[in-house]
Structure 1
Amino acid sequence: MSTQALPSEPGPARRTVVAAVGGVGLAAALAACGDSDSSDSAKTSGDGGTGGAAGSGAGAAGGGVLAKTADIPQGGGKVFADQGVVVTQPTAGTFKAFSATCTHQGCMVKDVADGTINCPCHGSKYDPATGSVTAGPAPRPLPAKTIKVEGDSIKLA
């Protein structure tokens, strides 16, 4: 009686396929968890006047006009999602800017209403004058952004 070897299966081994699929899943998960928050927190410093930390707005960075002062209501504010910034006017003529990314889980804040900057995802609320948390679950204040008010124009610095 003779023994014959069985032909091997064509294609990659099952172990190779499982490892490759796991690697792709891990890469996708890491990409989704990007570090958009780290660039803001690394640049935080206050100026006590019209903003705080150096920011990186897309279209208005480097001196481009973000808004007119008349666009920002006194006691309120406006979210500029494309630039990732929220600008407020807590008192007449005082303009502040903060990151528009909630410090809880990275959602974009929705609006400035009823005296707070509001995140729609889990209900976090922030003070429009300081960016500090007024209602959780956000663990940290919104990082300040630097703006310049020149005449009736508000620019990201």
Structure 2
Amino acid sequence: MEIETSRRNVLYGVAAAGFAVPLVAACGSGDDGSGPVGVPASDPPTSGGTTPAGESIPTSDIPVGGGAIYPEEKLVVTQPTAGEFKAFSAVCTHQQCLVTKVEDGKIDCTCHGSEYSITDGSVERGPASKPLAEKTVTVSAAGDSLTVS
């Protein structure tokens, strides 16, 4: 059987490829392996602090009812109520994007819409089905800084 190559068939093929390439790209990791899936290395989450790993975090940097994201450490620190500090992995359990913001009592991953509780890291809205991994928070004796391990 001979397949006829016509201008129309070529245009259909080009149109199909134009649709398929962005579709495949959207379903892929979208990066070169240097960062988490779904968050390009050049576009890290914007909220949070810059405290290097292993150093103390001023408690004043963590708002009551909110939190801060430390992208380089893949860490999110929250203060659900005054003086109560929690810390979790900032890696979404759905497809390993970094969470991007903390607001309205929730930790949000804007890659696919998952939301987690600032109190215990539990899933409040999917598609994620597992909670964020909890970390250990130690508040200084003076109450003005904390460390996470």
TM-score, normalisation: structure 2 = 0.63
Instruction: Compare relative contact order (CA 8 Å, sep 6+) and give the higher one, 1 or 2.
Output: 1
Counterpart code for 1:109:
V
Aligned to 2:114: 124
Helix, strand or coil at the partner of 2:73: coil
Q: Give the distance between the partners of 1:80 and 1:69, measured in 2 at CA.
A: 14
Between the aligned residues of both structures, percent identity stands at 52
Q: Show the counterpart of 2:47.
A: none
Q: Which residue of 2 aligns with 1:115?
A: 105
* Maintained 8 Å contact 1:78/1:86: yes
1:1-150 equivalence runs, <5 A: 32=33, 59-61=52-54, 64-65=55-56, 67-150=57-140
* Shift, 1:81, TM fit: 0.6
Q: Match of 1:139, SS?
A: coil
From the CA coordinates, give the structure whose radius of gyration is larger. 1
Q: CA RMSD in A?
A: 2.3
Deviation at 1:60, TM superposition (A): 2.3
Size of the alignment, in residue pairs? Answer: 103
Q: Hey, what's the Cα distance between the residues in 2 that align with 1:99 and 1:72?
A: 16
- TM-score, length of structure 1 as denominator length: 0.60
The alignment partner of 1:70 has SS state of: helix
Whole-angstrom CA distance in 2 between matches of 1:91 and 1:144: 17
Is the 1:99–1:143 contact (alpha carbons within 8 Å) kept by the matching residues of 2? yes
Q: CA deviation at 1:111?
A: 1.1
